[in-house]
Amino acid sequence: MQLPDAAFLTDLMSESLNSPPQGKPRVRFAPSPTGFLHVGSARTFILNWLYARRNGGTMILRLDDTDVERNTDASVNSIFEGLKWLGLSWDEEYKQSERGELHRQMAETIFQKGLAYRDFTPAHAGDSERSGAQGTWLFNPGMRELSRAESDRRAAAGEPFALRFRVPREGGVVRFTDAVYGEQMKAGADIEDFALLRSDGMPMYHLASCADDADLRISHIIRGQDHLSNTYKHVLIFEAAGFTPPQFAHLPLLVAPDGTKLSKRRHGPVVSVTTYRDAGFLPEAFINFLCLLGWSPKNDREQMSRQELIDAFSLEGINRANAVVNFKEATSQPVVIPTLSEEKGRNLLSSPEDTFDPKALWLNAEHIRGLAIEDLSQRLLPIVQGAGFNVLPERMLRITPLIRERIKLLRDVLTAADFFFVDQLPPYDPAELIPQKGDAAMALKVLQRAKEVLANVEFKHDPLDQGLRAAAQELGIKAGQMFQPIRVAVCGRKNAPPLFETLEVLGRETTLARIEQAIQKAG
């Protein structure tokens, strides 16, 4: 049976279609495991997840792993590793490669309705006949017109064929409403007779995706805007197979500052989720950042917890404009994170400001400030220990409040608090020891007096404060002039956490040893 083209859609509409379930949404993240977990894919997961969690729905992870030549285990691992780091969960999990039978059944249904045809054109010849006689997208017009009897005869004789969708021509129009991009419409004449099955019987992406979405009763397909143009074909497949298409919501593209689509080849590691993990982003901050790429919450707040994101999420807040990830293109080379033994805790990232979007860094710093000290301390400890320092949890707990306001990335702990971890300070310029409006002689005097005071005073904030202020008075200098040489002596630099708290944590022995070293330098 073959339906006349013009009647195609009308006939379909008069059939009773299987509707997706009413009520709780079922959404899916369907990555093809052909690379690492891209930030755009992570955002797609998260926005689906927010939608499911907001509406009491079901989150499904489906690996679109039918492309055996391009799939890798490393890629599957990278997807799971990235999602695990982000602490994102799902309720059901499927592998498309295990569902081939279901895909073929859907192809058979469509074929039996006359809405697909066998194409016996040898694979290599198909491409050259891409455009048909009337300028329509026919791969091989002769095949579309082949009678069913002739088609059956050639198939029975064992001739290989691909199965192509018979796209309605002449007046046929495919429509759908996208929750983000609105009404979409395309003439059937502008859609090629796309393949459902390859000549080796393997299902093609469009078929497999729709068969799974229908079988898994997906209610909303939320995915990247690059799939918007595929959706016409998907609508055709759903309807041909007797299903009402799900709702579609396409997400704006993530682009680099120059407007090009973010890609690993072009933009390097800034595109990969693990780069953010390794650089010391908090998963909750990174999720927060990703959500804001293309979605504007009604409340206009930017820093939000996971629960706040869930509560605020709606598809209406998704924008159409491309979302720009800001970074300096020139420095988007692989981010080198050397081990501490090579770098002694300095210059771990050549410049996070150049590598990462300023908003991502700002959000991360805000989320860090919002963490309880115990929580932050526990997250910092493995980084410090991993860099080769033997720091005990109790000590880390005391250091953490001193640097919490001073770090944007967790790994910044290695530069912000390095002087707590090392036995020997890295070399510093003795000129740093000279106080403001003072000279080398004043620096030396301060350090010598400090050595005496600090040999006796109790190593607690108030006694340290009182003792050193009194010493400044005796020397006839300002308190700040007293503190600076001491700070540089114990930290190796001027820009450091509050002095008395720092001394308390360092303790008398280390403090006196470092002051003695500074005296040698200044003398």
Burial 4-20 (b: 16+ CB within 10 A, else e): ebeebbeebeeeeeeeb
Phi, psi for residue 483 in degrees, rounded to 5: -70, -35
Beta carbon of residue 23, minimum distance to ligand GLU (angstroms, whole number) = 22
CA 181, 182, 184: angle at the middle one, nearest 5?
95
Per-position b or e across 343-369, b if 16+ CB within 10 A of its CB: ebbeebbeebebbbbeebbebbbebbe
Least Å distance, CB 96 to ligand GLU, is: 8
Window contacting ligand GLU (CB under 6 A); options: 28-36, 251-259, 346-354, 464-472: 28-36
Is residue 32 involved in binding ligand GLU (CB under 6 A)? yes
Kindly tell me which of 237 and 518 has the beta carbon lying closer to ligand GLU.
237
- The piece of 24-32, 158-166, 260-268, 349-357 that touches ligand GLU (CB under 6 A) is 24-32
**238 in Cβ contact with 15 (< 8 Å):** no
Pick out residues in 41-70 that bind ligand GLU (CB under 6 A). 64
Q: Which residues partner with 63 through β-bridges?
A: 95
Q: Which is nearer to ligand GLU, 210 or 348 (CB)?
A: 210
- Taking CB positions, which residue lies at the least distance from ligand GLU? 64
Distance CA 305, CA 370 (A): 10
- Phi-psi category of 23—alpha, beta or left, where left has phi over 0 and alpha has psi -120 to 50? left
Judged by CB under 6 A, which stretch of 25-33, 77-85, 99-107, 387-395 contacts ligand GLU? 25-33
Interior angle at CA 361, CA 49 and CA 333, nearest 5: 95
Task: Select 26 or 514, whichever has its Cβ closest to ligand GLU.
Answer: 26
Out of 54, 198, 227, 261, the residue judged to bind ligand GLU by CB under 6 A = 227
Candidates 9, 27, 30, 453: give the one binding ligand GLU (CB under 6 A).
30
**Residue 223 CB, nearest approach to ligand GLU (Å):** 4
Residues 6+ apart with CB under 8 A from 14: none
Q: How far is the CB of 140 from ligand GLU (least distance, A)?
A: 27
Min. distance of Cβ 206 from ligand GLU in angstroms?
A: 9
What's the closest the beta carbon of residue 30 comes to ligand GLU, in angstroms? Answer: 4
Q: Which is nearer to ligand GLU, 237 or 383 (CB)?
A: 237
Q: Please state the closest distance from residue 82 (CB atom) to ligand GLU, in A.
A: 14
Which residues, in sequence order, are bridge partners of residue 28?
60
Q: How far apart are CA 416 and CA 408, in angstroms?
A: 10
Q: Do 448 and 320 touch, CB atoms closer than 8 A?
A: no
Smallest distance from ligand GLU to CB 378, Å? 35
Residues in 101-140 that interact with ligand GLU by CB under 6 A: none
Residue 469, H or E segment: helix 461-475
Query: Quick one: 208 or 477, whose CB is closer to ligand GLU?
Result: 208
Alpha helices in 241-389 (DSSP H): 264-267, 273-279, 283-291, 306-312, 340-343, 352-355, 358-370, 373-386
Q: C-alpha distances in angstroms, 259 versus 253, 346, 396?
A: 10, 33, 43
**In degrees, to the nearest 5, what angle opens at C-alpha 10 toward C-alphas 229 and 177?**
35
* Binding span for ligand GLU by CB under 6 A among 9-17, 26-34, 384-392, 511-519: 26-34
Give the range of 30-38, 48-56, 280-288, 512-520 binding ligand GLU by CB under 6 A.
Answer: 30-38
Minimum CB–partner distance for residue 171 and ligand GLU (Å): 28
DSSP secondary structure code for residue 187 in this structure: E
212 binds ligand GLU (CB under 6 A): no
The single residue among 25, 31, 40, 82 that binds ligand GLU, judged by CB under 6 A, is: 31
Ramachandran angles phi, psi of 338, nearest 5°: -70, 160
Q: 50, 309 in Cβ contact below 8 A?
A: yes
Task: Report the nearest approach of ligand GLU to the CB of residue 227 (Å).
Answer: 5
Q: Residue 223, interface with ligand GLU (CB under 6 A)?
A: yes
Nearest approach, Cβ of 209 to ligand GLU (angstroms)?
5
> What one-character DSSP code corresponds to residue 202?
P
Beta carbon nearer to ligand GLU, 103 or 223: 223
Of residues 170 through 209, those in contact with ligand GLU by CB under 6 A are 209
Nearer to ligand GLU, 30 or 235 (CB): 30
127/142 Cα distance (integer angstroms): 14
Q: How many residues bind ligand GLU (CB under 6 A)?
A: 7
Binding site for ligand GLU (CB under 6 A): 30-32, 64, 209, 223, 227
